[in-house]
């Protein structure tokens, strides 16, 4: 157990009323909600895409994109997801294995290394005009790619809805998808607003989010942001200073006594195992099961689906007749949209030591891209499997 927990710690460090008895399964609920969404159209304002465009990334580098890139490689599933959501998927020529849940993603070059992380050789081989790197990609890897002549933008952690919105807008500007970014953000914000209205006057269930290996998701994480957005109270946020408290004792879990558990697919059995089985959540079999992609990848789709799933699970009565906003309802009339003045982006410097709540370890390899990452993570169990999808 100590070895397992230590591995989980390393992964985390390098990243960023009770419902009725029975688990509320999340996977199909979010997608189905689009089919019966409210009949209205949002028309967001659009930031102007213009080139050359310069933005300061997490390494402190002023990254300049001279013209809208024709090809993009994403090092991180959240960046891939964002490119799909903003209409840029056809630009993506390389991505990692944890992006394969996206439609047609497997037709792109796999740039995953044999273990965790990405193959520098494979990334360079994509000859992409722009590389979008998640915050867990090491500065050494970024430097190596830049030395090879690639333009690389490394992102800061995104641990809130506002962070995701800002990141989405920035990706839109970097890749020439400003209209799509505005639509994706409007879709996300509309669903977040709906969740806020649904949960405004209802009691918030007290929950825990187990990650395996006696670890929990705490404050300062994307997971915690999703819990609070959906009207839940994450007991670990107040009980621990760490964003990912580890080695949490059974006694502490029992003292916290969650009313519900937020579980990822594949870890449903935790509610029947000690110490969780002895909590109020376990005794009432009260849990919400969420697709780990939505819990671990800070991008608009993740926010929307996690928010919907968790809101339905936390507040089934209040959310029973909720009309969620579908992506198709959010359109931009380019001729009438009010553009935001394009400026050189210089984000306020943030500490790159703060782990993103959705990252896993990154190691550099010049080996041919492989599929060892998922297998290695599976060996660490359900908690590590969630971490593997993080970026």
Q: Looking at the domain assignment, is residue 281 inside a domain?
A: yes
Q: Say whether both 137 and 21 belong to one domain.
A: no
Structure tokens at 373: 């990452």
CA distance 170 to 67: 15
Q: Say whether both 84 and 32 belong to one domain.
A: no
CATH of the domain at 356: 3.40.50.1980
CA distance 268 to 320: 23
Q: Looking at the domain assignment, is residue 330 inside a domain?
A: no
Q: Say whether both 156 and 58 belong to one domain.
A: yes
- Residue 330 has what pLDDT? 86
Q: Running along the chain, 391 residues long, what does each successive block of 10 average in pLDDT?
A: 41 38 40 42 73 97 98 97 97 96 97 90 98 93 97 97 97 96 95 97 97 92 98 98 96 98 95 97 98 95 98 97 92 58 37 33 31 30 48 68
- Give the domain-ending residue among 274, 300, 322: 322
Q: Looking at the domain assignment, is residue 16 inside a domain?
A: yes
Q: Looking at the domain assignment, is residue 191 inside a domain?
A: no
CB contact at 8 A, 60 and 349: yes
Q: Looking at the domain assignment, is residue 246 inside a domain?
A: yes
Q: Say whether both 176 and 227 belong to one domain.
A: no
CA distance 236 to 280: 16
Burial state string for 180-207 with b = 16 or more CB within 10 A and e = fewer than 16: bbbbbbbbbbbbbebbeebbeeeebbbb
Q: Looking at the domain assignment, is residue 134 inside a domain?
A: yes
Beta-carbon-side half-sphere exposure of residue 231 (alpha carbons within 13 Å): 27
Q: Say whether both 351 and 306 belong to one domain.
A: no
Q: Say whether both 220 and 142 belong to one domain.
A: no
Q: Say whether both 50 and 180 belong to one domain.
A: yes
Q: Say whether both 357 and 275 belong to one domain.
A: no
- Residue 365 has what pLDDT? 34
- Give the domain-ending residue among 278, 293, 322: 322
- Residue 337 has what pLDDT? 52
- Residue 41 has what pLDDT? 54
Q: Find the length of the chain.
A: 391
Q: Say whether both 36 and 51 belong to one domain.
A: no
CB contact at 8 A, 64 and 53: yes
- Residue 375 has what pLDDT? 28
**R_g of the chain computed on alpha carbons:** 20
**pTM greater than the 0.75 cutoff:** yes
Domains of the chain: total: 2
* Structural domain span for residue 256: 2-40+203-322
Tokens 């990141």 — which residue?
Answer: 167
- Give the domain-ending residue among 292, 322, 352: 322
Q: Say whether both 61 and 178 belong to one domain.
A: yes
- Residue 117 has what pLDDT? 87
Phi and psi, residue 119, nearest 5°: -90, 120
State how far Cα 106 lies from the chain centre.
Answer: 20
Largest CA distance in the chain: 61
Q: Looking at the domain assignment, is residue 192 inside a domain?
A: no
Q: Say whether both 158 and 284 belong to one domain.
A: no
Q: Say whether both 140 and 232 belong to one domain.
A: no
Phi and psi, residue 141, nearest 5°: -65, -45
Q: Looking at the domain assignment, is residue 196 inside a domain?
A: no
- Residue 213 has what pLDDT? 79
Of 12, 46, 66, residue with least CA distance to 178: 46
Phi and psi, residue 133, nearest 5°: -110, 130
């Amino acid at each position: 157990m100590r070895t397992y927990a230590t591995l989980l710690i390393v992964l985390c460090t390098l990243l960023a009323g009770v419902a009725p008895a029975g688990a509320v399964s999340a996977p199909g609920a979010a997608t189905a909600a689009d089919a019966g969404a409210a009949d209205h159209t949002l028309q967001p304002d659009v930031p102007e895409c213009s080139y050359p465009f310069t933005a300061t990334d997490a390494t402190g580098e002023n990254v300049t994109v001279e013209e809208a890139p024709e090809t993009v490689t994403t090092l991180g599933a959240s960046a891939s997801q964002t490119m799909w959501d903003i209409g840029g998927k056809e630009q993506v020529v390389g991505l990692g294995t944890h992006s394969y849940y996206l439609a047609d993603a497997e037709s792109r070059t796999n740039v995953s290394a044999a273990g965790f992380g990405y193959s520098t050789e494979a990334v360079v081989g994509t000859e992409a005009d722009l590389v979008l790197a998640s915050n867990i990609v090491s500065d050494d890897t970024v430097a190596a790619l830049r030395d090879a002549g690639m333009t690389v933008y490394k992102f800061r952690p995104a641990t809130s809805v506002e962070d995701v919105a800002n990141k989405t807008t920035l990706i839109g500007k970097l890749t020439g998808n400003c209209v799509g970014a505005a639509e994706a953000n409007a879709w996300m914000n509309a669903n977040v607003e709906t969740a806020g209205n649904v949960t405004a006057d209802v009691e918030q269930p007290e929950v825990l989010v187990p990650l395996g290996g006696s670890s929990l998701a705490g404050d300062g994480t994307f997971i915690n942001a999703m819990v609070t957005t959906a009207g839940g109270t994450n007991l670990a946020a107040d009980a621990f200073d760490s964003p990912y408290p580890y080695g949490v004792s059974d006694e502490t879990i029992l003292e916290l006594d969650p009313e519900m558990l937020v579980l990822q697919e594949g870890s449903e059995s935790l509610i029947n195992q000690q110490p969780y089985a002895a909590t109020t959540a376990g005794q009432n079999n009260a849990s919400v099961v969420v697709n780990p992609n939505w819990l671990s990848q800070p991008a608009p789709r993740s926010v929307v689906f996690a928010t919907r799933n968790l809101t339905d699970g936390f507040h089934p009565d209040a959310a029973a007749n909720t009309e969620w906003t579908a992506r198709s309802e959010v359109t931009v009339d380019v001729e009438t949209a009010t553009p935001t003045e394009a400026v050189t982006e210089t984000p306020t410097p943030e500490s790159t030591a703060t782990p993103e709540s959705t990252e896993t370890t990154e190691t550099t390899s010049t080996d041919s891209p492989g599929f060892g990452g998922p297998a290695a993570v599976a060996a660490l169990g359900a908690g590590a499997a969630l971490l593997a999808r993080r970026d």
